[in-house]
Amino acid sequence: MHDIGFIRDLAIVMLVAGATTLIFHKLRQPVLLGYILAGVLIGPHTPGPLIKDPRTISDISNLGVVLLMFTLGLEFSVRKLRQVGLGVLLATVVEVSFMLWAGFGVGRALGWNGTDSIFLGAMVALSSTMVATRTLAEGGLRSQPFARLVVGMLVAEDMLAVVLITVLTAVALGGTVQADTALTAVGHLGLFVVVGMVLGLLLLPRLVDHVAGYGRDEILLVAVLGICFGASLLAAGLGFSVALGAFLAGMVVAESRCASRVVHLVEPLRDMFAALFFVAIGLKIDPAVIIEYALPALAVAAVVIVGKTVICSLGMFTTGHDARTSLRTGLSMAQIGEFSFVIATLGLSLGAISQFLYPIAVTVSVICMAVSPYLVRSSGKVVGLVRWLTPRPVRTLGSAYIGWLENLRPVNENAALAAMFRRFLWHIGVNIILVAALFVLGAYINAHNWAWFSKLGIYREARHSVIWACALFLSLPMLIAVYRKAEALGMLLAELGIRERFTGEYTQSIRRVLARLIPLLTLVVLAVLVGALGSTILPPRGVVIMLVAVLVLVAVVLWRGLVKVHARLQAALKQTLSDESGVQAQAETGDRTKDKQSR
């Protein structure tokens, strides 16, 4: 009887989904929103429910998750990631990181535990590929310049989604957000992902292409679906998420030569199982719980809409796109969707999160889905309003920044300049890596030699203070070198990048600001990195302030000596890496390059 009941329930779901598609298309609202609301109406938590069996709901949900994640994986590929561009990729990493932090902060502010908060951060970090792309398509905006940036950010977020799902599975299995208990699970998951991707890329694309050679669409479709469910079954058998297995299978199949043909075959299934997935989400929702947690859901929705709009817009503007294109990109990304539900389902299935978090995630998604089309349609008016509210000096500074980036593009006469920038950035990067290595070494010493410190009467806080102070003092030559290189880079960029035809009377002022801003921002980034890497050995706040003050005093007094120490270290490193004689390598110190040494 269960089989007949399942067919009956599946028929009800598909009939409701079909009616919803027509109604919400007429209302010019996202169809996915209609699926969720339809699931609520026919679910077990409303009067006169049409579907009551929790097993049916679970079966439909799992089937929808597997097929949806597989089709999302098919739309992602390494080739697409290469086409995204470094600027869009960096902006996406910053956006996802910021939203993770913001979501975690909101959860803690609401009094939730650490696991609930970190899962909330992950839910609000990833935009909805289906909502964003369908909104652009229905609005006839796919040919607009900002649409390409939106698609690029969504592709980059798909890559980060794999990382997030992997880490969150480790957190759920470990039952904590503490690194020491989750590292083993992360290692196992990472091994599964890496081995699965490597073996999959070696074998499956060739297999799929071989099957495609038969010229029979039904054989190809059955084969790729077999790969999809086989990967999900393997992941589940190893204790991981079926969603992760399906997504990895889609990513691997996407690398085959016949990937476009596979996507064409799977598209109808994607639409059908997307309907199943989102209706199943609605089936799990209790309206009473939504009412109870309405205020937290509204607060989280506001954080998603404002946070994603602002951070994505700033990210696009920083990478050289004009204000109008940047803001329209941010408005198109201001929503969450399928990955948020997958993450919530993952947390519930593993018993890692509280029951109230799932309906909150759905409520936030519904609010964002309802608002998203209006934000995109009115993006032109929003851009005009923002421009009107922005003071004239700020607009001038923004125009100067865009013009400056145009001047720095590595073409024609700027090719030599680009090579010089790369040298400066390379020197800064090497020194930052050395500083980070010192703090990682300090963390390792703290973790493995605490008993030795205890024998000397040096316990936790004192041990952290000693190790952190030593790492900071040994980093002084590299920190000073980073500042000097960044200072020189800032002066060069200011002089060559800020042109008077863009900035007029503000030219010199903007140059001075930029020349000082770049080294300061470099030190801020370095401080954040060091703080993250050295978090396990960070002494009490008062001790940190005192050590930093002493360090600044030592740096001022010993500035020239520390510069000479770094120059000698740099010369020694060049001597080690150079093919020239030791005498020549030692003679040519400072900021000279290897090219100059060979002349």
Report the C-alpha gap between 523 and 517 in whole angstroms. Answer: 10
pLDDT over threshold 50, residue 576:
no
- State the pLDDT at residue 186: 57
Q: Which of 166, 174, 158, 172 is nearest to 193 (CA)?
A: 166
pLDDT over threshold 70, residue 179:
no
pLDDT over threshold 80, residue 504:
no
From 79-83, 103-107, 556-560, the region with the lowest mean pLDDT:
79-83
- State the pLDDT at residue 150: 85
Q: Evaluate whether 130 touches 337 at the Cβ level (below 8 Å).
A: yes
pLDDT over threshold 50, residue 597:
no
Q: What is the mean pLDDT of residues 531-555?
A: 75
From 231-245, 251-265, 294-308, 565-579, the region with the lowest mean pLDDT:
565-579
pLDDT tens-digit profile of 412-429? 555 566 666 667 777 777
- State the pLDDT at residue 165: 76
Query: Angle between the 338-349 and 114-125 helix axes, to the nearest 10 degrees?
Result: 160
CATH number of the structural domain 60-388: 1.20.1530.20
- Residue bearing the bigger pLDDT, 105 or 571: 105
Distances from the Cα of 433 to the Cα of 366, 481, 589, angstroms? 43, 13, 21
Instruction: Calculate what percentage of the chain has a pLDDT beyond 90.
Output: 1
pLDDT bin (cut points 50, 70, 90) of residue 536 is: low
pLDDT over threshold 50, residue 587:
no
DSSP assigned state of 539: -
pLDDT tens-digit profile of 347-398? 877 777 888 888 888 888 888 888 888 888 887 788 888 888 888 777 777 7
Q: Evaluate whether 53 touches 9 at the Cβ level (below 8 Å).
A: yes
Report the C-alpha gap between 36 and 368 in whole angstroms. Answer: 13
- Residue bearing the bigger pLDDT, 418 or 205: 205
Largest CA distance in the chain: 90
pLDDT tens-digit profile of 103-137? 888 888 888 888 888 888 888 888 887 778 777 77
Q: Evaluate whether 205 touches 227 at the Cβ level (below 8 Å).
A: no
- State the pLDDT at residue 191: 63
When mean pLDDT is compared over 25-29, 340-344, 528-532, the highest value belongs to: 340-344
- State the pLDDT at residue 487: 78
297-300: long-range contacts (C-beta < 8 A, 24 or more apart)? 297/359, 297/360, 297/363, 297/364, 297/367, 298/367, 299/106, 299/110, 300/103, 300/106, 300/120, 300/124, 300/360, 300/364
- State the pLDDT at residue 42: 80
pLDDT over threshold 70, residue 2:
no
Q: What angle do CA 131, 12, 226 make, to 5 degrees?
A: 65
Report the C-alpha gap between 558 and 480 in whole angstroms. Answer: 11
- Residue bearing the bigger pLDDT, 189 or 279: 279
490-507 in b/e burial notation, b at 16+ Cβ within 10 A? bbbbbebbbeeebbeebb
- State the pLDDT at residue 155: 79
Q: Which of 542, 364, 529, 403 is nearest to 461 (CA)?
A: 542
Q: Evaluate whether 69 touches 266 at the Cβ level (below 8 Å).
A: no
- State the pLDDT at residue 577: 41
- Residue bearing the bigger pLDDT, 49 or 556: 556
Q: Which of 239, 102, 104, 99 is nearest to 160 (CA)?
A: 99
pTM of structure: 0.64
From 99-103, 174-178, 188-192, 247-251, the region with the lowest mean pLDDT:
174-178
pLDDT tens-digit profile of 436-470? 777 777 777 776 666 667 666 676 777 777 888 88
- Residue bearing the bigger pLDDT, 318 or 566: 318
In the chain, domain spans: 60-388, 401-557
pLDDT tens-digit profile of 36-74? 888 888 877 777 667 766 566 666 667 777 877 787 777
- Give the mean pLDDT of the chain: 75
Q: Which of 35, 111, 523 is nearest to 356 (CA)?
A: 111
- State the pLDDT at residue 29: 73
- State the pLDDT at residue 266: 81
From 344-353, 475-484, 581-590, the region with the lowest mean pLDDT:
581-590
Residue with tokens 């909502």: 131
pLDDT bin (cut points 50, 70, 90) of residue 12 is: confident
- Residue bearing the bigger pLDDT, 395 or 85: 395
- State the pLDDT at residue 586: 39
- State the pLDDT at residue 450: 62
pLDDT tens-digit profile of 283-333? 777 788 888 888 888 999 999 999 999 998 888 888 778 888 888 888 888
Task: Kindly report the number of other CB atoms within 10 A of residue 472's CB atom.
Answer: 22
